[in-house]
Structure 1
Amino acid sequence: MHYWILACLLGLHSLSASAADLIDFWGTPRHGGNSFNRLPPDQAYFEALRGYGATWVRLSYDKWQPAQRDFLLGDADHYQGLPKADLEQLRAVLDRAHQAGLKVVITPLSLPGMRWSQNNDGQFDDRLWQDKRYWSQAADFWRDLARELKGHPAIAAYNLINEPAPEMQGGLAEHAAAPLMQRWYEREKGGARDLPGLYRQLLSAVREVDEVTPVMVDAGWYAAADAFSYWPEPLQDDRVLYSIHMYEPYAATSAPNMTRKQPLAYPGTVPFAGQSEQWDGRRVAQYLEQPLAWLAAMKVPSTRLVVGEFGCMRRLPGCQQYLEDVLKVLDHNQLHWAFYSFREDSWDGMDYELGSAKVPWRYWQAIEKGTADPLARQATSEFEPIRRRLVQSAQ
């Protein structure tokens, strides 16, 4: 055999083996946490998460101090390349996660034409969903980032964008019935609000430079568990992971509920999709059945479903029960998950290691000063539904 033929065959074998290794990470249930911190996580942070038994972290960088207007994007109004200083900082954080034994899913909160609202004076940025010119810039961004991160040992997947919501200003109600969702998509298909269409373009850009790394895609309407209902088919790539987030019933689990004179209870009767419904473990299971049913209809294995975020306001008396009810469903279906959030240094609402007490003033002072979070963390009863499962999965 000619040496050049042998070399080619060996190269193809190496590529195939690498691809199998990366997607095989997701062949068994993987449990981890979300990192949405304002300061880049240090080594102790990753060691602590790994110490509980986590195998992966869903990492967002959008709160970090950028070299220009927007971290890694330079400027979400007009992407022109990855700022070198931002890229170096991201690589250093990935190195720390790898040293701790954690895999990382890179998760941008912003893309060109879709600046994350908390970096946009609280305003929802709908430009990406109005003008395909930003699709091309987003594809350029992901092509550049995949080229730079390809082969980094920490990377387990690229989550193309966190919680997209092309439907919000596009005439589709949140949690609409599946037939209404499907009719809406038929109208929007091929236009700028076509979320599967955007994903196909971004995925194509990634695959130009990286054929190996799995790609994770969130459902629409902020990654709602019912929002895959309008997708007529899966993406044509066998290394795609489909992600949902679970905070329903949001009226009870979220921060606004805690500002009510009498917060809504879980379990209890809660507003949802324009009605009042009884939400408990049974209703949680029913709601989470929807993405599993979609995967089955599309003949996609359930190992490709990731619950990329779930959580509840830790000070809500029913939060521990809510976490238990959600995790029972995830256990039963052997799904991947990442809880929200681990030791967040800019918002304490779902930091379960803090228990149910209010945080002291020095926590907020550190945020104002841009200094490190001063609070010690420990396992609490609020964290127990998550902690127990992390430990079990590590055994």
Structure 2
Amino acid sequence: MSATRRAALLAATRLAAGLWAAASAPSWAAPQPASGFRRGVGVHTMMNWGRLDPADRGRYAAEPFSGPAYALSDAVIRNIAAAGFDFVRLTLDPGPFLQLEGAPRDALDAQLGATVQRFLAAGLAVLVDLHPNTQVPRYDPVQWLRSTEDPIYLQYVATVRRTARLLAGLGSPAVAFELMNEPPYGYDRASVRRWQVMCEALHAAVRAVAPDLLVVLTGAHGGDREGLAALDPAPFRGSRVLYSFHYYEPYPFTHQGVVADNGDSAFWRYFSDMPYPAASVPAELVLETVRANVEDDARRGSGRGRPAIGPAQAQARAYLATGFDRARIARAFDEVTAWAQRNGIPPDRIFLGEFGATRTYGSYRASDPISYENWLRDVRELAEERRFGWAFWALGGHGGMSLVSEDGGSSLDRPTLRALGMRTP
């Protein structure tokens, strides 16, 4: 079946197919979060994945975030504000802040302050998110979150304190600070307890220098809802905080086309035009698309070749068998709501810190437009019904999850804006 014929059948099939309101006061009083952190977008290209030292790839360059790759045009910032977003979630690679000393380290603080001020001047609030990555092994969080006594963890606590002082010094209620993105532990009882201790220490480091700064906290377990449910919020009562979780379910849909190497995710690269809701397209059309994608990759000499057809189709069948739909998302969000209720946390202090899906554009082979819009709209609407703030992932970069229409461009994708309930040009 040709690609054109497959697309036509998918479109025709889809076209044919057709809370918690706080009833009682919280059990403990706490300051309410500032307005301005309700609808946001992640900015992951300005101060993350810093340049490495050409002479030593195990170290960052002295000016890690300089050069065209880290630039963001005024036109993009204007378009974000014009669309109706009220904040950006600015990701920050902590590695250079941990490594550099003296004047280069001071320059990083100055760059961060200037970047935040630039968004504030455009009328956007700013959530600064410490967002470790793996490119320098010494600063890979999997290495240093293993112990509360690890020297890098202790440096990290000091960096959190210093950054909090900087952000508080800007004197704006439209600035918030997220202390750790997606902690890569919390899959057993011991590491859940360890993250609780670490989270309390990081929070205390902020409050020592910034009593009123809005702080975003997350559970472990990769920052998902299970991690949040395992977090004890009692130590943070009375503190001005938001509680974050990330949502990308179902992964065979949200990560279709992504190249990965581990387990079931190794077959995501062969997925495209996966339906949402899962039952909205006949299974034979989905499986035929998977087959065609495997064969296309084999002809190009990439992927695992034609023997991958069977396992890839098996993974696609497993997704289709779930019948995943809006009701499944609602149940997941209700679990978060129930955790908040049990702990007397107002719903507007829950923060959906990341959600997104790959879409087909440029060189990316991923969602069809109808399923993509449906999933985004369902997640956004269900979050808003429960009064959760949210941040879409992401403004741009590489990987296929993008608000800008094309990599490196300044216009924003209209279907994405529609699904997010934002203004379109």
Q: What letter matches 2:349 in structure 1?
A: R
Equivalent residue number for residue 95 of structure 2: 70
Q: Which amino acid aligns with 2:146?
A: W
SS of residue matched to 1:226: helix
Q: Distance in 2 between matches of 1:143 and 1:348?
A: 32
- Residue 54 of structure 1 aligns to a residue in which SS? coil
Matched, 1:299 2:309: no
Q: Give 1:5's aligned residue.
A: none
Alignment of 1:130-145 (within 5 A): 130=147, 132-133=149-150, 134-145=152-163
What corresponds to 1:265 in structure 2? 275
Structure 1 CA distance for aligned equivalents of residues 201 and 138 of structure 2:
29
Aligned 8 A contact 1:214 1:239 in 2: yes
Does residue 207 (structure 1) correspond to residue 207 (structure 2)? The answer is yes
Greater Rg, structure 1 or structure 2?
2
User: Aligned pair 1:308/2:353, yes or no?
Assistant: yes
Once the two structures are superposed, residues 210-242 of structure 1 have per-residue CA deviations (whole angstroms, 9 ceiling, x without a partner) of 101011012222211222222344432431210
TM-score by length of 1: 0.71
Distance 1:189 1:220, change over 3 A: closer
1:390 aligned residue: 422
State the distance in 2 between where 1:82 and 1:215 align.
27
| 1:46 is the counterpart of 2:107 | no
Q: Which residue of 2 aligns with 1:377?
A: 411
**Which piece of structure 1 moves more, 262-271 or 205-214?**
262-271
Is 1:128 aligned to 2:173, yes or no? no
Compute the TM-score of the two structures, normalised by the length of structure 2. 0.66
Deviates more, 1:215-224 or 1:42-51: 42-51
Q: Which residue of 1 aligns with 2:377?
A: 324
Secondary structure of the structure 2 residue equivalent to 1:150: helix
Q: Which residue of 2 aligns with 1:176?
A: none
2:115 alignment counterpart: 93
2:20 corresponding residue in structure 1: none
Name the Cα RMSD after superposition: 3.2
| Long gaps (5+) in structure 2 | 1-29, 47-69, 259-266, 280-313, 361-366
Task: Give the Å deviation of 1:383.
Answer: 3.3
Q: 1:351 to 1:144 in 2, by over 3 A?
A: same
**1:287 corresponds to:** 332
1:333 is matched with which residue: 372, 386, 401?
386
Cα distance 1:80–1:293, how it changes in 2: closer, same or farther (>3 A)?
Answer: farther
> Larger helix proportion, structure 1 or 2?
2
Question: Taking every aligned residue pair, what percent have the same amino acid on both sides?
Answer: 22
User: Unpaired runs of 5+ in structure 1?
Assistant: 1-18, 63-68, 111-115, 173-183, 364-372
Shift, 1:380, TM fit: 2.1
Q: For 1:351, which of 402, 407, 410 is the aligned residue?
A: 402
One-letter amino acid of the structure 1 residue matched with residue 213 of structure 2: T
Structure 1: which amino acid aligns with 2:204? Answer: S
* CA distance in 2: counterparts of 1:319 and 1:121, whole angstroms: 37
Asked if the contact 1:353–1:380 (Cα under 8 Å) also holds between the matched residues in 2, the reply is no
Distance (Å, rounded) in 1 between the aligned partners of 2:342 and 2:315: 29
- Aligned match for 1:117, one of 128, 134, 152: 134
CA distance in 2 between counterparts of 1:109 and 1:47 reads: 25
Aligned residues of 1:196 and 1:235 also touching (Cα < 8 A) = no
Aligned length: 316
Q: What SS is found at the alignment partner of 1:157?
A: strand
| Residue identity opposite 1:101 in structure 2 | G
Give the C-alpha shift of residue 60 in structure 1: 1.0
Secondary structure at 1:235 match in 2: helix
- On the 8 A contact 2:348/2:389 being kept in 1, the answer is yes
Encode CA deviations 1:64-121: one digit per residue, 9 max, x unaligned: xxxxx9332226xxx99981111111111111111101111111112xxxxx124559
Report the Cα distance in structure 1 between the residues aligned to 2:323 and 2:136, rounded to whole angstroms: 36
Secondary structure of the structure 2 residue equivalent to 1:117: coil
Q: Which residue of 2 aligns with 1:61?
A: 92
Secondary structure of the corresponding residue to residue 358 of structure 2: coil
Conserved 8 A contact 2:33-2:214: no
Which residue pairs with 1:25 in the alignment?
34
Cα distance in 2 for residues equivalent to 1:207 and 1:122: 25
Deviation at residue 243 of structure 1 after TM alignment: 0.3
**Cα pair 2:148 2:154 within 8 Å, conserved:** no
CA 1:298–1:261 in 2, change beyond 3 Å: closer, same or farther? closer
Distance in 2 of aligned mates of 1:81 and 1:303: 40
* Equivalence map 1:193-204=2 (5 Å): 194-204=194-204
Provide the C-alpha distance between the structure 2 equivalents of 1:352 and 1:208, rounded to a whole number of angstroms: 37
**Structure 1's 205 and 49: CA in aligned 2 closer, same or farther, altered over 3 A?**
same
Match of 1:226 in 2: 226
